Structure 1
Amino acid sequence: MGFKETLKARLAPAKDRVSDLAAQHGDRIGQGLDKAARTVDERTGGKYSGRIEAGTGKAKDAIDRMSQKGDDGTPPRDGTP
């Protein structure tokens, strides 16, 4: 078994745990992201609003992807790493 396969095997339990936490607390994570985005936007005087909004949206999408599991209990494969 190569290094990559060994690493994947060792990280699988952590990946499952993160998926479970994202499924259970996705709404609270989203609220925290929104609050952090508002704070950063205020402190930068709105100068980076578009970038902050885009980054927050991508983070929320990632949380949604992590929280969704297939019928066999694994996250769906949508072509993203």
Structure 2
Amino acid sequence: MLPEYTRSQLALRNGQDRDEIWVAYKGLIYDVQKSRLWRRGNHYEHWAGQDLTKELADAPHTDFVFDKFSVVGILKK
């Protein structure tokens, strides 16, 4: 079973406050640290440590982009 994290806990995994670089999408939290596109904790105008579910609609890619990342937790509602 995956651990649950609050939005506040997710916000700390922004690549600045801690080494982890995580983003949430559709209730799951992904570790995107290995992606060169997230290396500094941001990806274009998006920042790590946030829920990107609503923002993906504007992206030039689909949600299959998350398939290559490990799921590290569940975002608490």
TM-score by length of 1: 0.25
Which of 1 and 2 has greater Rg?
Answer: 1
Q: Which has the higher contact order (CA 8 A, sep 6+)?
A: 2
- Greater strand proportion: 2
TM-score by length of 2: 0.26
